[in-house]
Structure 1
Amino acid sequence: MDHDKDGILGKNDLRATWDSLGRLVAEKELDEMVNEASGPINFTQLLTLFAKRMSGGSDDDDVVIAAFKTFDDEGKIDSERLKHALMTWGDVFTLKEVDEAYDAMDIDDKGMIDTQKLIAMLTSSAEEEDGGEAA
């Protein structure tokens, strides 16, 4: 996505990315995308934006924990049951979005997700993940 290879995603990088996907994007849309970030869009900021977009915004950790505990069965979550819920209720996910989220999860050979690992992954902040370094 970083077409000019400067380590920061800017408006021209976003335009080039959308162009490569065959979609023309209005100047206003590009401005809105860039302004969605709280600062320059480096890799950490991009991950934070993706996480917010996929979760529908920032929820308090206790809300995230309670939501996933409803799927918990003896420390495991059935991935097919969760996929059905994600694609059926609330802010509905597409199959592609579910697949992308599942790529980041550890799913065992029985299709089960470790509840605690999933909750830990979803509730950790970008600062914790990158060792607290300033972006």
Structure 2
Amino acid sequence: MADKEKKKKKKVKEDAADAPAPEPAPADEPAKRPSSKGSKKAAKRSGSNVFSMFSQGQVAEFKEGFSMMDHDKDGIIGKNDLRATFDQIGKLATEKELEEMLSEASGPINFTQLLTLFANRMSGGSDEDDVIIAAFKTFDNDGVIDGERLRHALITWGDKFSQKEVEDAFESMVIDDKGMIDTEALIQMLTGAAEEEET
């Protein structure tokens, strides 16, 4: 008789387990709601795919650059972070320039937003010459670039140069006796054209 009661209780538990659970209201816990495989894929597609535009190595380099620019380490690059970054490379930026840079983003500049800005630039905004010009203009100080500062940047960030690669590159540059590189000559050498449009 005890066996029959155990079997009966077991049968009731199995029936309860097989019955579909009621769906919670949409506001409760949407992440735990049952869904089909198709809707899971749709949810994945609806998110940002900016990370798929870059290799893992590129994302790591962007992350390193982001952390260097995020001076207050709050996960957002703000005006003070930009100002400190420009100060670090020895370039003064006006309030207007800082505000223009920040206004390029559709919201606060977190890491994903920064990647989105780079992706937008790469997908049609700037050509390679514009990127080269802009990169070297960030090092420019009254028409010259501090050779030691450029050397440090080349061996420290991004696709790092070896000491030999830096020496080979510096042999082609116009450098004065104080170690300063002529910015316009460098840009002209790298782009193959004078920078008439930029001035």
Q: TM-score, normalised by structure 1?
A: 0.48
Structure ranking higher in helix proportion: 2
Asked which structure has the greater RCO (Cα within 8 Å, sep 6+), the reply is: 1
